[in-house]
Amino acid sequence: MSNILLWGTVLIFALSTFGYTYSLSGVNRAFYGCFKAIAETSVIAYDKTGVSASPYFSKSLFEEKCEEYFALALRPYTSVYFLSFYFCDKDTKKESEYPTQAEVCLSCKVYTKKHYMRSASFFIEEGKHGGK
């Protein structure tokens, strides 16, 4: 009789551990999968009049795309999550109308117990295009 109780406890523990790791790895994949595409689609290289300008992050576009992505990606793993955003100039670290740095922070509960919190920063840097 004690063997049945012992194996029942082991089975419940194993299933609980599987559920937690499944949820945690799903949230992790969702967070690390957001990197390049959302930041690249949120970069604007024109000012409000349509004249070519130094590239900067569109705050509203970046927030909108992040919210859309996480709503879809996190649906199977958690129902409650929070996103926070911070935009600034990459060099001065001060808030700017035309930010060259964007940061997103994700906070949620994984499998109703553990608190998951990660943040990612994106920068706009000059690089070489085309050429030799």
**If pLDDT is split at 50, 70 and 90, which confidence band does 20 have?**
confident
Q: What is the mean pLDDT of residues 8-15?
A: 79
d(CA 87, CA 44): 14
Non-local (6+) Cβ contacts of 115 within 8 A are: 107, 108, 109
Q: What is the mean pLDDT of residues 99-113?
A: 86
d(CA 129, CA 96): 26
pTM: 0.78
Tell me the pLDDT of the chain averaged across its residues. Answer: 84
Non-local (6+) Cβ contacts of 62 within 8 A are: 38, 39, 42, 85, 87, 102, 104
d(CA 119, CA 103): 7
